[in-house]
Amino acid sequence: MLGFQMQIAFTMRRILNSSVAFCAALLLAEAGVTFAPAQGTNNLSSTAADVSQFPSLDRLPGKVPPRVWNGLGGAWARAHARWQTTASADVGAVVFLGDSITEGWSTLAKDFPNLKVANRGIGGDITSGVLYRLKADVLSLNPTGIVLLIGTNDVGDGADGADVAANIRLILLAIKDFNPNLKVIVCKVMPRSDGGQPIHAERIERINSLIEQFTKGEPNFAICDTWGIYADEKGAPNPEDFKPDHLHLNAAGYGVWKKALDSVMAKLDLAADKAK
């Protein structure tokens, strides 16, 4: 009998606590108080998000920089409008994923005639943006391989180097979780010196070092040294490979990148996989 009374008392306490919590939530809602995830530390969702519009910063996964380019929302929407018409044709492609440097590779299909390629670069995009759209834009295509270049806008937006590298690590882990046999070429963050601003060489080299450490021991991940092929002795971009903004590649610069990728693709037998 005593045990039965204790069980009733315990149940009543649980009901009372739940009622108090519910009433408190109603009062807070009426007062306009809401609880949101901590800025910049959100977790990657286990399901593909609706990525047709750029989200508010508090909805982005991973570590979010303190600011983003104010044109990113428009660039994001335009890119997704284009991709709606090509998604079915892009299934099974080698996906080039990144920001405006990737987006601007207009001769991609011509430069890799033995590969089916798809361009998923968005001007101004950041590492947490790639995390947010990875499943919908890339993994949904069941790609043969991925060429990833991302991080320079995080640097320009004031992000900490360790945070940028941590986000790239999350991208790679998500890809590996999707398909542990999927081959990924991870391109190092390129040197930059846009608008006369600091070149951020030390921070970029730190990011690249952390990325390289993570990919070691991963047989299906390979590094493409897109830092060393472009940086001078001070860590500034070689002017012959970049447009006047010292951020975006010119035609010669894309040729240098292609040559570097050819050797990495051969190492991973990426072209051979396409031919099967």
Give pLDDT tens digits for 155-197.
Answer: 999 999 999 999 999 999 999 999 999 999 999 999 998 766 6
Which pLDDT score, from 0 to 100, does residue 273 have?
56
CB proximity list for 146: less than 8 A, separation 6 or greater: 94, 95, 96, 97, 138, 175, 182, 183, 184, 185
Extract the tokens encoding 254: 């894309």
Domain tally, the chain:
2
Identify whether residues 76 and 195 lie together within a single domain. Answer: yes
Worst-scoring range by mean pLDDT, 44-53, 87-96, 183-192? Answer: 44-53
Site of tokens 């929302």: 73
Identify whether residues 214 and 135 lie together within a single domain. Answer: yes
Which pLDDT score, from 0 to 100, does residue 175 have?
98
Angle at 198 between CA 192 and CA 204, to 5 degrees: 50
Instruction: Say which CATH number the domain at 172 has.
Output: 3.40.50.1110
The answer to whether residues 61 and 131 touch, using CB atoms and an 8 Å cutoff, is yes
The answer to whether residues 127 and 168 touch, using CB atoms and an 8 Å cutoff, is yes
What does residue 120 show for φ and ψ, rounded to 5 degrees?
Answer: -125, 45
Identify whether residues 209 and 229 lie together within a single domain. Answer: yes
- Percent of residues in the chain assigned helix, strand, coil, to nearest 5: 50, 10, 40
Identify whether residues 66 and 18 lie together within a single domain. Answer: no
Query: What integer is the mean pLDDT of 106-110?
Result: 97
Residue 58 confidence (pLDDT) above 50: yes
Identify whether residues 16 and 84 lie together within a single domain. Answer: no
Which pLDDT score, from 0 to 100, does residue 172 have?
98
Task: Write out the residue range of the structural domain in which residue 21 sits.
Answer: 1-35
Residue 54 confidence (pLDDT) above 90: yes
d(CA 122, CA 80): 9
Identify whether residues 11 and 50 lie together within a single domain. Answer: no
Question: What's the longest Cα–Cα distance across the chain?
Answer: 89
If DSSP codes are grouped into helix, strand and coil, which group holds residue 119?
Answer: strand
If DSSP codes are grouped into helix, strand and coil, which group holds residue 275?
Answer: helix
Identify whether residues 30 and 57 lie together within a single domain. Answer: no
In order of 41, 53, 69, 197, the CA distances from 38 in angstroms are 6, 22, 21, 30
Buried b (16+ CB within 10 A) or exposed e, 203-215: bbbbbbebbeebb
d(CA 60, CA 132): 6
Identify whether residues 55 and 121 lie together within a single domain. Answer: yes
Site of tokens 């790239």: 168
* Tens digits of residue pLDDT in 217-235: 999 999 999 999 999 998 9
Strands 183-187 and 117-121: unpaired
The full DSSP string for 52-98 is: SSPPPGGG-BBPPPS---TTHHHHHHHHHHHHTTTTTTTTTPEEEEE
